[in-house]
Amino acid sequence: MQYDVIVIGSGPGGYVAAIRCAQLGLKTAIVEKYNTLGGTCLNVGCIPSKALLDSSEHYHNAAHAFKTHGINLENLSIDFGQMVKRKKEVVDANTSGISYLMKKNKIDTHFGVGSFKDKNTITVKKADGTETEITGKNVIIATGSKPSALPFLKIDKKRIITSTEALNLTEVPKHLVLIGGGVIGLELGSVYARLGAKVSVIEFMDGIIPTMDKALGRELQKVLTKLGMEFYLGHKVTGATVTGDEVTVTFDTPRGEKKELKGDYCLVAVGRVAYTDGLGLDKIGITVEERGRKITVNDHLETSVKGVYAIGDVIKGAMLAHKAEDEGTLVAEQIAGQKPHIDYNLIPGVVYTWPEVAAVGQTEEQLKAAGVKYKTGSFPFKASGRARASGDLDGFVKVLADAATDEILGVHMIGPRAADMIAEAVVAMEYRASAEDISRMSHAHPTYTEAMREACLAATENRAIHI
Ligand code: FAD
Ligand code: NAD
């Protein structure tokens, strides 16, 4: 079994790399340790979380928004078992879709843990203990990441849980205590808050989604507070203990006072770390960074060993499915002799709360720190006809443009369907559009996208029409 390329890991980085290699005529194999393909994203990440977010959003609207639309429902109730079953069906449909794509592209799938024997030989250890060896001229490591833990806190996976267990609960928590006000915490916190749980968020930094433009975190906190979530910002968790069905989380306030919260579940969502266990990297001398255990790669995503590449969550940069996919494509095309390029500044970030949060490019904080002179244009959704019609009045679009050239440097939005709307900003920035360029382009009325045009108008000459 000799291949041009062996891909280890079948998440969005790995399976996209494998498909692109096959499209380019390279004989390709993919190795996956679990018995379904798709990695974190399809099995325990993006897809199941979005399925539960959609289901819980329907329930929340039926319970709270339908009435204002003149729709009355009686005896509304949640069949949580059905909600989780549907989520599983969505996951199964997606993962079997990847199996279909592997067959269609004539990619050999090897189930088992892949580890390096030497730089061209991968031993695949199957669940039954048997081993096979495959060889490849090139190897792409796409082994992803796993949840970070806190050294002083034991995750028992029953009451003190990670996102993986939070996606597979058998009941809606009464009180979910969340450690970490980042993407996972706020998405899964939203799911359970909508379904009736009390949700308390303990965040170490002084704002939620702290790596995004500060204005987004402030607005999102306001909306999630209306949903009933409570926030302890700037608080430091010191421990969590389980007694029966109860979890007690202890933490220090910014003034150093000791506090505790009792809940029935505690979700630890404090980031993820690169996953390289069992790969045998030391056998071939691949180096990993001390912090986060990420595999070190050069600008071509090649490791310290020639012909061995790494992509996705296991290397530096944002831990996002589309970033992993882009890197998979890049490495495949390089192996085939092409010269592809990724502009990391233009990888959008999205939080799938409602309203959704989406951003691309530089934040105001980054521009200030770099001493770049910029202008700002904002447009609130409460001034959008489309948002009035749907009743989604929270949020805004904020455009940051270069003060001298008007080139768009960053777009930050929170509002209805922002996850889809951010694509316009990515295209604009890829083609180095100015705010005026966008403000002169026709946007269908009434759509949420008009808010993007209005924010650009506001940035251009402060001449938004509807505010
Ligand atoms: P992974 O998807 O982690 O895949 C790695 C694969 O490698 C796994 O299948 C693993 O079993 C396999 N593997 C590991 N070691 C070996 C080995 N030695 N041999 C064989 N196989 C091995 N990102 C977004 O962009 N949008 C979202 O909405 C989003 N939502 C998320 C929600 C949650 C709850 C979580 C946890 C993550 C979410 N992410 C989201 C992040 C996203 O899932 C990751 O960025 C993405 O999956 C990374 O892809 P990857 O290919 O690098 O690795
Ligand atoms: P995150 O980095 O988004 O958020 C972690 C949060 O925990 C941060 O706000 C951090 O300040 C806080 N924190 C860290 N240590 C803490 C402590 N001791 N006490 C209190 N707070 C603490 O990480 P995450 O939410 O775990 O998500 C992991 C990764 O998965 C992210 O990198 C993200 O990109 C990816 N993801 C993406 C999406 C999406 O694209 N929609 C969804 C889910 C996950």
Please report the pLDDT score of residue 13 as a whole number: 98
Residue 154 lies in a domain: no
Domain boundary, last residue among 342, 375, 394: 342
Is residue 6 located within the same domain as residue 133? yes
pTM score over 0.95:
yes
Q: Could you tell me the maximum CA-CA distance found in the chain, to the nearest angstrom?
A: 69
Is residue 128 located within the same domain as residue 22? yes
Q: Which amino acid is at 15?
A: Y
Is residue 30 located within the same domain as residue 121? yes
Residue 261 lies in a domain: yes
Token pair for 424: 């316009």
Contact predicate 406/395, CB 8 Å = no
Backbone angles phi and psi of 199, in degrees to 5: -125, 125
445 part of the active site: yes
Is residue 351 located within the same domain as residue 237? no
Residue 466 lies in a domain: no
Q: From first to last of its 467 residues, what are the pLDDT tens digits of the chain?
A: 899 999 999 999 999 999 999 999 999 999 999 999 999 999 999 999 999 999 999 999 999 999 999 999 999 999 999 999 999 999 999 999 999 999 999 999 999 999 999 999 999 999 999 999 999 999 999 999 999 999 999 999 999 999 999 999 999 999 999 999 999 999 999 999 999 999 999 999 999 999 999 999 999 999 999 999 999 999 999 999 999 999 999 999 999 999 999 999 999 999 999 999 999 999 999 989 877 789 999 999 999 999 999 999 999 999 999 999 999 999 999 999 999 999 999 999 999 999 999 999 999 999 999 999 999 999 999 999 999 999 999 999 999 999 999 999 999 999 999 999 999 999 999 999 999 999 999 999 999 999 999 999 999 988 899 99
Is residue 103 located within the same domain as residue 170? no
Q: Which atom of ligand 1 is nearest to the CA of 352?
A: 28
298: CATH = 3.50.50.60
Residue with CA at minimum distance from ligand 2 atom 18: 237
Residue with CA at minimum distance from ligand 1 atom 28: 46
Residue 152 lies in a domain: no
Please report the pLDDT score of residue 433 as a whole number: 98
For residue 122 and ligand 1, the question of a CB distance below 6 A is answered with no
What gap in Å lies between CA 183 and CA 362, rounded to an integer? 19
For residue 319 and ligand 2, the question of a CB distance below 6 A is answered with yes
Which DSSP category does 407 fall into? B
What gap in Å lies between CA 370 and CA 252, rounded to an integer? 34
For residue 120 and ligand 1, the question of a CB distance below 6 A is answered with no
Residue 20 lies in a domain: yes
Q: What is the dihedral of CA 268, 162, 247, 57, to 10 degrees?
A: 90
Whether the bond into 210 is cis, omega within 30 of 0: no
383: CATH = 3.30.390.30
For residue 401 and ligand 2, the question of a CB distance below 6 A is answered with no
Residue with CA at minimum distance from ligand 1 atom 41: 320
Please report the pLDDT score of residue 97 as a whole number: 98
Q: Of the bound ligands, which one is closest to the alpha carbon of residue 278?
A: 1
List the one residue out of 379, 412, 382 whose CA is nearest residue 394: 382
Please report the pLDDT score of residue 462 as a whole number: 85
The burial class, CB within 10 Å (0-12 / 13-18 / 19+), for 336 is: middle
Residue with CA at minimum distance from ligand 1 atom 46: 321
User: Which residue among 143, 286, 293 has the greatest number of ligand 1 atoms within 8 angstroms of its CB, and so is best to mutate?
Assistant: 143
Please report the pLDDT score of residue 461 as a whole number: 82
For residue 321 and ligand 1, the question of a CB distance below 6 A is answered with yes
Is residue 363 located within the same domain as residue 454? yes
Q: Which are the contacts of 345, defined by CB distance < 8 A and separation ≥ 6?
A: 361, 362, 429
For residue 356 and ligand 1, the question of a CB distance below 6 A is answered with no
Is residue 277 located within the same domain as residue 138? yes
Residue with CA at minimum distance from ligand 1 atom 47: 41
Which string of DSSP letters, residue by residue, matches 96-146? HHHHHHHHHTTPEEEESEEEEEETTEEEEE-TTS-EEEEEEEEEEE---EE
Is residue 12 located within the same domain as residue 122? yes
Residue 155 lies in a domain: no
Structural domain tally of the chain? Answer: 3
User: Which residue among 146, 155, 204 has the greatest number of ligand 2 atoms within 8 angstroms of its CB, and so is best to mutate?
Assistant: 204
Is residue 133 located within the same domain as residue 9? yes
Is residue 50 located within the same domain as residue 131? yes
Kindly report the CA angle at 235 between 229 and 237, in degrees rounded to 5? 95
For residue 261 and ligand 1, the question of a CB distance below 6 A is answered with no
User: Which residue among 272, 291, 352, 420 has the greatest number of ligand 2 atoms within 8 angstroms of its CB, and so is best to mutate?
Assistant: 272
Residue 465 lies in a domain: no
For residue 378 and ligand 1, the question of a CB distance below 6 A is answered with no
Please report the pLDDT score of residue 287 as a whole number: 86
Contact predicate 164/149, CB 8 Å = no
Computed on alpha carbons and rounded to an integer, the radius of gyration of the chain in Å comes to: 23
Enumerate the H helices of 115-239 as residue ranges: 163-166, 183-194, 214-226
Please report the pLDDT score of residue 162 as a whole number: 98
- C-alpha 425 to ligand 1 mean position (Å): 26
The burial class, CB within 10 Å (0-12 / 13-18 / 19+), for 93 is: exposed
Is residue 312 located within the same domain as residue 387? no
Domain boundary, last residue among 246, 270, 294: 270
Place of tokens 């108008």: 457
Three-state secondary structure call for residue 326:
helix
For residue 80 and ligand 1, the question of a CB distance below 6 A is answered with no
Domain boundary, last residue among 318, 342, 366: 342
What gap in Å lies between CA 317 and CA 319, rounded to an integer? 6
Please report the pLDDT score of residue 1 as a whole number: 83
Is residue 6 located within the same domain as residue 137? yes
Place of tokens 């968790």: 237
Q: Which atom of ligand 2 is nearest to the CA of 320?
A: 34
Classify the C-alpha dihedral 109-110-114-117 as positive or negative.
negative
Task: List the domain range (segments joined by +) for residue 218.
Answer: 160-270
User: Which residue among 7, 37, 41 has the greatest number of ligand 1 atoms within 8 angstroms of its CB, and so is best to mutate?
Assistant: 41
Alpha carbons within 13 angstroms on the beta-carbon side of residue 186 total 25
